[in-house]
Amino acid sequence: MRTRTAIAAALCAALGTSCSLQEQHAPALVGPSELSISISVAATPDVLPTDGASRAVVTAAARDAYGIPLSNLSLRAAILEDGVAVDLGALSAHSLVTDSSGRATVMYTAPAIHGQQDTGTTVDIGITPVGTNYVNAVVRVTTIRLVPVVPVR
Partner 1 sequence: MKTLAFLVGIAASSACGTVARQGTGSSFLIVDSIEAASGARGEFTSTLQSDVVTIVDASPSLFQDSGRVTFSLGLRDGGASSAVSAPSAANAITIDRYRVRYVRADGRNVAGVDVPYGFDGAFTLTVAERASAGFVLVRAQAKAEAPLAALGGSAVFISTIAEITFFGHDQTGRAVSVTGRIDVHFGNWADPK
Nearest residue (CB) to partner 1, 113 versus 141? 141
Judged by CB under 8 A, how many residues of this single chain contact partner 1? 31
Shorter beta-carbon distance to partner 1: residue 104 or 140: 140
- The yes or no reply on residue 14 touching partner 1 (CB under 8 A) is yes
Q: Which residues are within 8 A (CB) of 33 and not within 5 positions of it... i.e. 6 or more apart?
A: 67
d(Cα 145, Cα 149) in Å, to the nearest integer? Answer: 12
Closest CA to 130 of 69, 77, 60: 77
Q: Report the distance separating Cα 136 and Cα 129, nearest Å.
A: 10
**How far apart are the C-alpha atoms of 153 and 145, rounded to whole Å?**
18
In the stretch 36-55, what mask flags binding to partner 1 with x, by CB under 8 A? --x-x---------------
Interacting stretch for partner 1, rule CB under 8 A, among 84-92, 96-104, 108-116, 136-144? Answer: 136-144
Q: Which is nearer to partner 1, 22 or 152 (CB)?
A: 22
Per-residue CA distances from 29 to 26, 34, 35, 67 (Å): 9, 14, 16, 12
Interaction site with partner 1 (CB under 8 A): 3, 6-7, 10-11, 13-15, 17-19, 21, 23, 29-35, 38, 40, 63, 65-67, 138-142
